[in-house]
């Protein structure tokens, strides 16, 4: 079975589009035919029932030309102005090509901080999960108009990896002008060996293979892609770096185009459960009745009706200990409600939540995907 079938088998895929692929560097316009071919590839994936999220660069590259900004490295405030101008045009272009396949686009503006702040992380994850469940194709643009770290340090690749980890993606596809990782810079060494796969983790030896070049408009070279690979692999997401310059880049990749695979030792579900169980310190606890304990052991979520006591002052997304009727910890999980709201709905049926709180939240206090039994 060829490696490209990893993509066809993936339930959820994040595609990162590099600026150089999407935008004509001289004219500052979107490569329309290329984008149309990408949309056709995405339509095939959606027909197979796969979830697809796009993380796109290119707003600065498009916007700078419309504002008449000179060639060369822009000052920070000029980059932000260019991003504000280009973002609208990029989203419109994506909308048009996807609409031709009856696909609905949903734009989401994010920063790296959104993926690191627990509250915003939970909100973003829930929004993306909802959009995917409703059949939309989320388009994530880095919010360069208000955030500067991504512009300064070229972290669009890392943002894509954070998004992939956030939504438990099976595969992160990083499309750029490079067809993967080489042991040496192939522009300087004609006989540089191509690396087909990196397994388990990115070692110092692998890191030493990366160059440092950054493009005028793009987000960076192999250094940022390896940083993205580390994030993705730690979350159990497979990453692949591939040359996307030709039309139909995703179908070409599936057909066996040369690339570099970064294969983690765990899958997204296993990695997330490990993170919850071992990396987060609980700041509160829930005590269950016998019925809720039985439900959890059967692989179900924790509902408010089965909670008899709550300890701690926590917020939505915080880690909690889950205890049996005798007070012994039997699980850990992430809270879907704050302590204040949880105390109001504990012992009540799911159908009563909206009446009690005045808004419709999640049915569970802890969803089974956010729960790990001890």
Residues 285 and 256 in one domain: no
Three-state SS string across the chain, please? CCCCHHHHHCCEEEEEECHHHHECCCCCCECHHHHHHHHHHHHHHHHCCCEEEEEECCHHHHHHHHCCCCCCCCCHHHHHHHHHHHHHHHHHHHHHHHHCCCCCEEEEEECHHHHHCHHHHHHHHHHHHHHHHCCCEEEEEECCCCCCHHHHHCCHHHHHHHHHHHCCCCEEEEEECCCCEECCCCCCCCCCCEECEEEECCCHHHHCCCCCCCCCCCCCCHHHHHHHHHHHHHCCCEEEEEECCCCCHHHHHHCCCCEEEEEECCCHHHHHHHHHHHCCCCCCEEEECHHHHHHHHCCCCECHHHEEEEECCCCCCCEEEEECCCCCEEEEEECCCCHHHHHHHCCCCHHHHHHHHCCCCCCCCECHHHEEEC
Q: Which of 212, 245, 270 is the last residue in one of the domains?
A: 270
Residues 200 and 225 in one domain: yes
Residues 224 and 172 in one domain: yes
CATH label of the domain that carries residue 354: 2.30.130.10
Residues 297 and 264 in one domain: no
- Evaluate if residue 64 carries a pLDDT over 60: yes
Band (219; pLDDT cuts 50, 70, 90): very low
Which structural domain range is residue 329 located in?
Answer: 280-373
Q: Which of 239, 270, 301 is the last residue in one of the domains?
A: 270
CATH label of the domain that carries residue 208: 3.40.1160.10
Q: Which of 250, 270, 290 is the last residue in one of the domains?
A: 270
Q: Is 92 inside a domain boundary?
A: yes
Residues 189 and 246 in one domain: yes
**Residues 264-308 pLDDT 10s:** 988 888 888 888 887 678 999 999 999 999 999 999 999 999 999
Query: Count of domains in the chain?
Result: 2
**Residues 173-193 pLDDT 10s:** 999 998 999 998 888 888 899
Q: Is 275 inside a domain boundary?
A: no
Residues 266 and 288 in one domain: no
Residues 338 and 250 in one domain: no
pTM of the model: 0.84
């Amino acid at each position: 079975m060829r490696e490209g079938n990893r993509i066809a088998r993936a339930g959820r895929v994040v595609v990162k589009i590099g600026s150089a692929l999407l935008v004509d560097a001289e004219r500052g316009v979107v490569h329309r035919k290329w984008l149309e071919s990408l949309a056709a590839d995405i339509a095939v994936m959606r027909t197979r029932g796969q979830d697809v999220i796009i993380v796109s660069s290119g707003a600065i590259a498009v916007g700078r030309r419309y504002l008449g900004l000179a060639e060369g490295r822009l000052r920070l405030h000029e980059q932000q102005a260019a991003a504000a101008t280009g973002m609208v045009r990029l989203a419109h272009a994506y909308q048009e090509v996807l609409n031709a396949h009856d696909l609905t686009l949903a734009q989401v503006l994010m920063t790296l901080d959104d993926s690191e702040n627990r509250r915003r992380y939970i909100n973003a994850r829930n929004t993306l999960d909802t959009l995917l469940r409703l059949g939309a194709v989320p388009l994530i643009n880095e919010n360069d108009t208000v955030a500067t770290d991504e512009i300064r340090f070229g972290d669009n690749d890392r943002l894509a990896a954070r998004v992939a980890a956030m939504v438990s993606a099976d595969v992160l596809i990083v499309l750029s002008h490079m067809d993967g990782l080489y042991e040496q810079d192939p522009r300087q060494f004609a006989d540089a060996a191509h690396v087909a796969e990196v397994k388990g983790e990115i070692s110092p030896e692998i890191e030493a293979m990366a160059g440092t070049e950054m493009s005028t408009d793009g987000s960076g070279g192999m250094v940022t892609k390896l940083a993205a690979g580390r994030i993705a692999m730690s979350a159990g997401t497979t990453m692949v770096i591939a040359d996307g310059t030709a039309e139909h880049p995703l179908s070409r990749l599936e057909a066996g185009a040369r690339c570099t695979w970064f294969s983690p030792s765990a899958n997204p579900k296993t990695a997330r459960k490990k993170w919850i169980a071992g990396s987060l310190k609980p700041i509160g606890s829930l005590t269950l009745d016998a019925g809720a304990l039985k439900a959890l052991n059967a692989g179900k979520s924790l509902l408010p009706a089965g909670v008899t006591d709550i300890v701690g002052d926590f917020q939505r997304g915080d880690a909690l200990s889950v205890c049996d009727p005798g007070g012994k910890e039997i699980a850990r999980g992430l809270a879907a409600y704050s302590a204040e709201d949880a105390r109001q709905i504990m012992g009540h049926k799911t159908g009563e939540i909206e009446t009690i709180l005045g808004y419709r939240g999640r049915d569970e206090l802890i969803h089974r995907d956010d729960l790990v039994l001890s």
